[in-house]
Amino acid sequence: MSSPIWVVGVGMTDFGVHEDKSHYDLAHWAVKDALGDAGAGKEAIDTVFYGTSTHGILEGQATISGEIAMRGMGIQRIPVHNVHNACATGSSAFNLAVTSVTAGESDIALAVGVDKMNVGDPALSMSVFESGYDVSDPQALTRTLQELGGDVDDSDVGRRSIFMDIYAAMARNHMRTFGTTQEQIAAVASKNHAHAVDNPRAHYRKAMSVEQILAGRALGYPLTVPMCAPVTDGAAATVICSDEGLRRLGSQAPVKVLASVIGTGSDRDITTYDDHITRHLAERAYQRAGVGPEDVDVAEVHDATAFAELTQSEMLGLVPMGEGGAAAVAGETTIGGRIPINPSGGLESKGHPIGATGLGQVFELTEQLRGNAGSRQVEGARVALAENGGGFHRGEEAVMSIIILGGN
């Protein structure tokens, strides 16, 4: 980036089940907290990028969610852009806000992510995942899953989203390729459940042993319920600004945006890892940020299942290929280890309100870089990375975001 771009304010609701709060209540909560953190009034915001992935499907508000939410709290007469990009919606809003500030269209931009997924109809909530792959050719998904994971008998497996079958097939391919074990995947989940105990905003805050996780209700092998993200409500917001915006606000705790990149997948041999979207995008992000994976002090990655963290840690270069499971068992990815991953508890425990997830990662990493994470603090954190994927298309994530932040 030609001139510095700064994160000057972050806000995040508690993640969980909010029966007494509407979609807009959650958005207002996060935005008010982010503005307060930035020391900014509502009138300071030049542009809003408002991310939601499920509002249209679950509540029928398929358009103008952002305009309604912002006017409802007095943010008016400025551009409001609605963003929808599967599970990478929040990080896409962040990327667009960074782009707007970089281009000089805004001095101060607001990125918002929110989804209320618990609407009293569990079947409807699960249906949102059905649009995360190519619905025009459902047999293609079946063929892809068989190519990745082979045939399995899941006749005794209960209700789950299609993405649990997708991650299970990807996990079985990794196990076949590298010898990864179910116990290693459970070690990732156990680590994240332990991290979430000290996160007051997390959906689940209960430590679980590897044995307890393996004993959980089976999903598609090798996954069990405690290895997977719950259905969560929540919102997060970030105030992003230029040097001029920083001078206007006088923020004393800015965090520098070193890189924010978005990419999509490509046609490739889906059983291999050399040409995966994450590897390409990570290379671009590291180059733009002027750092390498060895410089990353803390990371938040998209662990919709524990297996996803395991493989993404490898493709980001944080651990060698094929050694993600062993690294988790050895404690390398635990707070206090060589490269702490998901100190927030990750999606498995913090929760996964789809549109808010990417900005929830930014919230956690900003707190880490400021030294404000309390008992979850990664000592000496100076470079932080967030990886956030969305959807599934031809063997990999349909969209991927990588954000790299630097402490001041």
Catalytic positions are 87, 352
Name the one residue in this structure whose structure tokens are 């046609």. 267
Strands 298-300 and 383-390: parallel
For residue 22, the tally of other CB atoms under 10 A from its CB is 13
Torsion 44-49-50-56 (CA) sign: positive
For residue 320, the tally of other CB atoms under 10 A from its CB is 11
Query: Rounded to an integer, what distance in angstroms lies between the CA atom of residue 134 and that of residue 392?
Result: 8
Token pair for 301:
């990655």
Torsion 6-297-166-196 (CA) sign: negative
Query: Rounded to an integer, what distance in angstroms lies between the CA atom of residue 302 and that of residue 305?
Result: 8
| CA angle 348–363–120, rounded 5-degree value | 50
> What are the CA-CA distances from residue 154 to residues 17, 158, 164, 165, 227 (Å)?
29, 9, 12, 10, 17
Q: Which residues does 298 contact at the CB level (< 8 Å), separation at least 6?
A: 339, 340, 341, 343, 365, 368, 378, 381, 384, 385
Query: Rounded to an integer, what distance in angstroms lies between the CA atom of residue 209 and that of residue 96?
Result: 40
Helices 182-196 and 306-315 sit at what angle, rounded to 10 degrees?
100
Token pair for 87:
């599970």
**Overall size of the chain counted in residues:** 408
From the number of C-beta atoms within 10 Å of its C-beta (0-12, 13-18, 19+), residue 91 rates as buried
Query: Rounded to an integer, what distance in angstroms lies between the CA atom of residue 225 and that of residue 214?
Result: 9
Strands 234-241 and 399-406: unpaired
**For 325-397, where are the E strands, in sequence order?**
383-390
